[in-house]
């Protein structure tokens, strides 16, 4: 049995959110005392340029694992090509009541209804300023739960202005199912209003700072097919550089009869792979080629990640697969993608 499987066996004996915190603290300690070098394999080198950014490889960790930027050095030290932190909101918020995180080991899945629990954007910025790891860092921004959708743009603008100088790219999260009304912002009218205001402010920030930070929009896997082309047109119109497909799903069909299957929240892990891939495929068809795609959702192996590359993803991200498979998944994915790159678009 691998070292990580032994550790996971212990972590899975305690409540999921407690295990999450314990695992990150353990990883931080291991990184601080230099254990990483013999615990994990280094991923294959696969340099690429996406969104105008140079990445050492195509494998990243998705937002949600490190919401506050407290574990940047530890997670970055695993050899990822990039790391995304957040979702962060202007004001700190505690999120939804516990329990709010549920394991479904039979399906290698997780249901969460965390609700954007985070320490606020000012804390995240302080953590980013202290980081030693200098890899590619994305920052995922959202709105506070008590901010009505009519004023949502104000929350996104606050976060944008505070993180702009510290992010290699910024993600506009409009697709979490755990903040009431957030997914309504995916409607074209509201989406256009939000993106146009953010892009306008970005142009001003570009002049102030002397550099342009790329934007990515994170979408849901539960979109109706006929809504995707209008969304893609809106994203292109507002000069967005990338789309992340996808966030968690509210669909429970594949979990029938399992413990926790009816818990409210977003489902991630292996059952998400098909719908996330369908959304990825649809957006690749609907978007101009210059707009990049980041594939996430359901990646539990190198083969899963390669499938996303074959559907048009320029980069891939893991979260639930990282929890079930451990840090070795990063090297497995990088190896699979690198070994197959001769038959894939090299952009």
Catalytic residue positions, numbered: 176
Q: Residue 174: phi, psi to the nearest 5? A: -120, 20
- Residues 6 or more apart from 285 whose CB is under 8 A from it? none
The rounded Cα 315 to chain-centroid distance in angstroms is: 11
Coil vs helix vs strand at 137: strand
Coil vs helix vs strand at 53: strand
Q: How many Å apart are CA 76 and CA 57, to the nearest integer?
A: 12
Contact 163, 141 (CB under 8 A): yes
Q: How many Å apart are CA 332 and CA 62, to the nearest integer?
A: 17
Q: Which helix (H) or strand (E) segment is 226 a member of?
A: helix 225-237
Per DSSP, the residues of 114-126 read --S-BS-HHHHHH
Q: How far is CA 318 from CA 156, 270, 295, 314, 326, in A?
A: 25, 11, 9, 14, 10
- Residues 6 or more apart from 200 whose CB is under 8 A from it? none
Q: How far is CA 4 from CA 75, 134, 189, in A?
A: 15, 26, 46
Q: How many Å apart are CA 143 and CA 87, to the nearest integer?
A: 9
């Amino acid at each position: 049995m691998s070292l990580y499987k032994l550790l996971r066996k212990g972590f899975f004996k305690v409540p999921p959110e407690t295990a999450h915190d314990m695992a990150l603290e353990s990883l931080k300690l291991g990184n601080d005392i230099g254990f990483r070098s013999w615990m994990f394999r280094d991923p294959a080198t696969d340099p690429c340029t996406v969104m105008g950014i140079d990445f050492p490889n195509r494998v990243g960790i998705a937002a949600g694992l490190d919401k506050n930027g407290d574990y940047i050095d530890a997670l970055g030290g695993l050899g990822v090509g990039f790391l995304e932190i957040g979702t962060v909101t202007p004001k700190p918020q505690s999120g939804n009541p516990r329990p709010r995180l549920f394991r479904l080991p039979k399906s290698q899945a997780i249901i969460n209804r965390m609700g954007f629990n985070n320490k606020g954007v000012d804390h995240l910025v302080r953590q980013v300023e202290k980081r030693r790891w200098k890899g590619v860092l994305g920052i995922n921004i959202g709105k506070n739960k008590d901010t009505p959708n009519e004023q949502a743009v104000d929350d996104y603008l606050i976060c944008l202005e505070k993180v702009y100088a510290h992010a290699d790219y910024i993600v506009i999260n409009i697709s979490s199912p755990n903040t009431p009304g957030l997914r309504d912002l995916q409607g074209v009218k509201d989406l256009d209003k939000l993106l146009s205001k953010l892009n306008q402010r970005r142009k001003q920030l570009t002049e102030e700072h002397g550099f342009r930070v790329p934007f990515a929009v994170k979408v849901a896997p539960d979109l109706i097919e006929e809504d995707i082309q209008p969304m893609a047109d809106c994203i292109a119109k507002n000069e967005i550089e990338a789309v992340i497909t996808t966030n968690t799903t509210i669909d429970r069909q594949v979990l029938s009869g399992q413990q926790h299957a009816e818990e409210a929240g977003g489902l991630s892990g292996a059952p998400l792979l098909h719908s996330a891939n369908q959304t990825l495929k649809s957006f690749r068809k609907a978007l101009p080629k210059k707009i990049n795609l980041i594939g996430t959702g359901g990646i539990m192996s190198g083969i899963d990640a390669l499938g996303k590359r074959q559907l048009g993803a320029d980069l891939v991200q893991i979260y639930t697969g990282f929890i079930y498979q451990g840090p070795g998944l990063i090297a497995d994915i990088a190896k699979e993608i690198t070994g197959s790159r001769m038959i894939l678009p090299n952009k």
